[in-house]
Amino acid sequence: MFSYTFQWKQAFAKLPLMLDGALVTIELALLSMAIGIVLAVVLTGFRLSRIRPLVAIVTTWVEIARNTPALFQIYIAHFGVASFGLHLSPYVSLLIGITFNNAGYLAENFRGALKAIPDTQTRAARSLGMNPIQAFVHVVLPQMLRIAFLPMTNQMVWAILMTSLGVTVGMNFDLYGVTQDLNALTFRTFELFALAAVIFYVMTKIVQIGARLIAARLFRY
């Protein structure tokens, strides 16, 4: 009944291809985080503006991003928009889907972080003659980033893992996509996916350790 013969050599022979895929995965995760953070800052600004239509946009975005499967979000970014005649490549669709998800979660994190900073900090900064932007940049933002740093790290890990959903929209040159294709060619299913899992694990571990090192340098208080 257990007749599977491990052929690790065959799998390891594909390692360079998989590592190339891993680079694409990292690129996707980094891009989706970078754009996601910018969007999250904008969304947080919208929320603080208290202008109804803007707040409605944020609420809808955050609710969908956090309460529907990431897979659904990626599907919509690919097949959903295709129904309206907009045909995006799997790479772009995947990037949009993950970015949407990141921005939603991060906006919520930023909101929580801002709430944790007392208004009196801004008041103290303003009473020293700082204008609102200086007060935000030099006093509020650094404190906000510290509070939001750990959740941001988690989101980065999540972004790396979410790239694996790209296969469902035809993505075939990120780590998971490459592995999937190699599997179809060689049928070394267990070995290939085990290897992919290890690569995912190493990538996320590097993110976590790197984040801890950065945090130790940045946040000494």
Partner 1 sequence: MIEIENVRKSFGPLEVLKGINLTVPKGEVLTIIGGSGSGKSTLLTCINGLEPIDSGRITVDGTEVHARGTDLNKLRRKLGIVFQQWNAFPHLTVLENVMLAPRKVLGLGKAEAEAIAVKQLTHVGLGEKLNVYPTRLSGGQQQRMAIARALAMSPDYMLFDEVTSALDPQLVGEVLDTLRMLASEGMTMICVTHEMKFAREVSDRVAFFSKGVMAEIGAPQQIFENPQHPETAAFVKLTQA
Least separation in angstroms between CB 219 and partner 1: 8
* Interaction of residue 126 with partner 1, rule CB under 8 A: yes
Q: Which of 66, 123, 205, 212: binder of partner 1 (CB under 8 A)? A: 123
* Interaction of residue 130 with partner 1, rule CB under 8 A: yes
Interacting residues with partner 1 between 89 and 118 (CB under 8 A):
118
Q: What's the CA gap between 171 and 149, in Å, rounded?
A: 30
Position of tokens 């969007």?
Answer: 39
Q: What's the CA gap between 199 and 202, in Å, rounded?
A: 5
* Interaction of residue 217 with partner 1, rule CB under 8 A: no
Contact between 99 and 34 (Cβ < 8 Å): no
* Interaction of residue 129 with partner 1, rule CB under 8 A: yes
Q: Which of 49, 59, 68, 134: binder of partner 1 (CB under 8 A)? A: 134
* Interaction of residue 34 with partner 1, rule CB under 8 A: no
User: Could you give the C-alpha distances from 88 to 76, 167, 169, 210, in angstroms and in order?
Assistant: 11, 14, 10, 33
Q: What's the CA gap between 151 and 149, in Å, rounded?
A: 6
* Interaction of residue 165 with partner 1, rule CB under 8 A: no
Least separation in angstroms between CB 84 and partner 1: 46
Q: What is the secondary structure of 146-168 as a DSSP string?
A: HHHHHHHHHHHHHHHHHGGGGGG
Interacting residues with partner 1 between 138 and 157 (CB under 8 A):
138-139, 142-143, 146
State both tokens at 112.
Answer: 């929580």
* Interaction of residue 59 with partner 1, rule CB under 8 A: no
Q: What's the CA gap between 23 and 16, in Å, rounded?
A: 11
CB nearer to partner 1: pick between 114 and 171: 114
| Site residues, partner 1 (CB under 8 A) | 118, 120-121, 123-131, 134, 138-139, 142-143, 146, 219-221
